[in-house]
Amino acid sequence: MNWFNESMMLGIASDDGRYFVDMMFYPEDSPDGKYCVALYDQSDREAPNPIGGGDHTNRLSAVAEIEEFMRLIWRTGKPVGG
């Protein structure tokens, strides 16, 4: 894994800037690492509120969690409910 040595992989903000997604890989440089997804409500910019996320050993599982979060915000304007 000498071609990849950063933990931060992705950062996405909603159009209104209220919601944010982080995806990291840790421990960096380890083929046995995990994907960590963190979902935030940034209505308070000084103290963003984590509202979901988790660790994934499978990349597609991490992507599915991010896509579901984005879908809920697009459909309902909030990250819960359907």
**Given pLDDT bands bounded at 50, 70 and 90, which one contains residue 82?**
very low
- Does residue 67 register a pLDDT over 90? yes
Phi, psi angle pair for 51, to nearest 5°: -120, 5
- Does residue 26 register a pLDDT over 80? yes
Higher pLDDT, 3 or 71: 71
Q: What angle do CA 27, 13, 42 make, to 5 degrees?
A: 90
Tokens representing 47 are 């103290």
Domain range annotation of the chain:
8-76
pLDDT tens digits for range 30-42: 888 999 999 998 8
DSSP H/E element including 72: helix 59-76
What does the pLDDT read at residue 3? 54
Higher pLDDT, 75 or 61: 61
Helix (H, G, I), strand (E, B) or coil at 45: coil
Under a CB-based contact definition with an 8 Å cutoff, are residues 36 and 55 in contact? yes
Average pLDDT, the chain: 84
Phi, psi angle pair for 13, to nearest 5°: -115, 145
